[in-house]
């Protein structure tokens, strides 16, 4: 019998980062060691359908995968429900998410671990992690609590404050406040912060919905835009800092990578600068004093542990350009895995190549799954 494990890669999803997820998944799948792993792929469409996909991996980035999967599903449906189930293909088009894991206990290939290469809401926020928990299957990345806290910037800031991590000032406003009395918000902000300031949805990633406000008019415009993506919106102090990132790997005893600096092509590192214009630059390792790098790595591990993260996370910081003070910005519990993403690049610079990184993550997921098992009196 083969000693290979089967890893299920899930991509797409119902979030504003659907396209980024597909690109990340293509990179992940292309770097999995197929001598050690069988790979099965499942895409979640923007309307929430789960589709099994076994076509060319190159079609993930272009979006062509969906039409191929749907065509395959249509042909399988013609077999009839019982025949499809017997052939281990009941999980194709139109199948529920639960059907995927029914396959693991049936005649289909047994899934040993899931890699949810999903960014943003419904993928990085604890929702799908809860489903994996109910399904009883190991998965890469933090659990329900760590995922939901890491995704929610407002609550992660509360935990960071309790942990004593340095961060900028911030305020939180609800969508209801913004819709009902947006004219009153600038005065509230101006009591605590100065312009410019940053505005962002509490639950979103890849800088979707983020804006920089230089006056009250721009503030209100940014608030309205951010509120499209979440019911709570943060207004944050502007820190005149260099943007740096540090990757974390592990479970209870995590390790931190070297530190990389992001030099954005735009005024700040927004979605366009990250994924579209290709003019942003990264410097690994960052040109910082060794003491500052050590400080950042220490803060990254503390942030990881205080949010109860597992497997992987990437912590983002500012280093003030004048004072050199370090401020934590946020943590990403399922960071990008594209060819230009910082998480795999930071580990490659730290001595762990992409393929080995995926293997370590799979092992950590299985380790965490075993540790979380509970004895239940019956």
pLDDT digit string (tens) for 226-283?
999 899 999 999 999 999 999 999 999 999 999 999 987 656 544 454 444 556 789 9
Q: Answer yes or no: do 190 and 91 share one domain.
A: no
How sure is the predictor about 286, in pLDDT bands with cuts at 50, 70 and 90? very high
What is the share, in percent, of the chain residues with pLDDT greater than 90? Answer: 74
Residues 275, 130 share a domain: no
- Read out DSSP for 131-153? HHHHHT--BSS--HHHHHHHHBH
Domain enclosing residue 221, as ranges: 169-237
CATH number at residue 190: 3.30.1490.20
- Are residues 185 and 322 both part of a single domain? no
Contact by Cβ (8 Å): 320, 159: no
Q: Is the domain of 202 the same as that of 114?
A: no
Report the CATH number that the domain containing residue 117 is assigned in CATH.
Answer: 3.40.50.20
The answer to whether residue 376 sits within a structural domain is no
The 10s digit of each residue's pLDDT in 33-44 is: 999 999 999 999
Q: Give the CA distances from residue 103 to residues 44, 48, 65, 77, 107, in Å, rounded to whole numbers and listed in that order.
A: 17, 19, 21, 16, 7
23: pLDDT strictly greater than 50: yes
CA angle (341 as vertex; 340, 342 as ends), nearest 5: 120
Does 253 lie in the same domain as 221? no
Residues 16, 151, 226, 296, CA torsion sign: negative
Helix segments in the chain, DSSP class H: 18-31, 59-62, 65-77, 81-86, 97-104, 127-135, 144-151, 153-163, 175-181, 185-192, 216-226, 271-275, 290-306, 342-349, 354-371
Backbone CA torsion sign across 281, 122, 102, 60: negative
Nearest to 337 by CA among 11, 55, 45: 11
For residue 282, the domain's CATH number is 3.30.470.20
The residue to which tokens 């919106």 are assigned: 233
- Contact assessment for residue 151 and residue 309, using Cβ atoms and an 8 Å cutoff: no
Reported as a single tens digit per residue, the pLDDT across 61-102 is: 999 999 999 998 887 665 544 443 333 333 333 344 445 554
Could you read off the pLDDT of 105-155 as tens digits, one per residue?
334 458 999 999 998 888 899 999 999 998 899 999 999 999 999 999 999
The answer on pLDDT for 344 being more than 90 is yes
**Pair (11, 135) in one structural domain:** yes
- What's the CA gap between 320 and 264, in Å, rounded? 16
217 with 308, same domain: the answer is no
Residue 111 resides in a domain: yes
How many separate domains does the chain show?
3
- Whether the Cβ atoms of residue 349 and residue 260 lie closer than 8 Å to each other: yes
> Same domain for 251 and 361?
yes
Lowest mean pLDDT among 113-127, 184-198, 300-314, 355-369: 113-127
Across the chain, mean pLDDT equals 87
Q: Say whether both 274 and 339 belong to one domain.
A: yes
Query: For residue 377, what pLDDT is reported?
Result: 55
Does 145 fall in a domain? Answer: no
Q: Domain check: are 330 and 366 in the same one?
A: yes
Co-location of 273 and 334 in the same domain: yes
Q: Would you say residue 377 lies in a domain?
A: no
| pLDDT tier for residue 328 given thresholds of 50, 70 and 90 | very high
Q: Is the pLDDT assigned to residue 374 strictly greater than 80?
A: no
């Amino acid at each position: 019998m083969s000693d290979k494990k089967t890893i299920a890669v899930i991509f797409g999803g119902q979030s504003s980062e659907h396209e980024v997820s597909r690109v990340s998944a293509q990179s992940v799948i292309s770097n999995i060691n197929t001598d050690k792993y069988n790979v099965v792929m499942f895409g979640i469409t923007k309307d929430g359908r789960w589709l099994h996909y076994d076509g060319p991996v190159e079609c993930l980035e272009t979006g062509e995968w969906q039409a191929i999967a749907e065509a395959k599903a249509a042909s399988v449906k013609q077999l009839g429900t019982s025949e499809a189930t017997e052939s281990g293909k009941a999980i194709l088009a139109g199948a529920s998410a639960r059907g995927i894991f029914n396959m693991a206990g049936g005649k289909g290939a047994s899934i040993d671990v899931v890699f949810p290469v999903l960014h943003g809401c419904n993928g990085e926020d604890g929702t799908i992690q809860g489903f994996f928990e109910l399904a009883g299957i190991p998965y890469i990345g933090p659990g329900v609590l760590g995922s939901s806290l890491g995704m929610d910037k407002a609550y992660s800031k509360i935990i960071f404050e309790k942990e004593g991590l340095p961060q900028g000032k911030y305020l939180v406003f609800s969508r209801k406040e913004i819709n009902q009395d947006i004219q009153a918000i600038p005065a509230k902000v101006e009591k605590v912060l100065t312009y410019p300031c940053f505005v962002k949805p509490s639950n979103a990633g890849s800088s979707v919905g983020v804006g920089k406000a230089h006056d009250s008019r721009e503030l209100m415009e940014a608030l309205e835009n951010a509120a499209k993506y979440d019911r709570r919106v943060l207004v944050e102090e502007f820190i005149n800092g260099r943007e740096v990132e540090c990757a974390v790997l592990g479970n209870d005893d995590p390790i931190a990578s070297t530190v990389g600096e992001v030099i954005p092509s735009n005024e700040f590192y927004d979605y366009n600068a990250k994924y579209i214009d290709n003019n942003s630059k990264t410097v690994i390792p960052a040109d910082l004093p060794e003491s500052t790098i050590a400080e950042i790595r220490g803060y990254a591990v503390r942030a990881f542990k205080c949010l109860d993260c597992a497997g992987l996370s990437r912590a983002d910081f500012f280093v003030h350009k004048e004072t050199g003070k370090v401020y934590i910005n946020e943590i990403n519990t399922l960071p990008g895995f594209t060819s230009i993403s910082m998480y795999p690049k930071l580990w490659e610079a730290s001595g762990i190549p992409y393929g080995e990184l995926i293997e370590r993550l799979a092992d950590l997921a299985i380790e965490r799954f075993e540790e979380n098992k509970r004895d239940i009196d019956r």
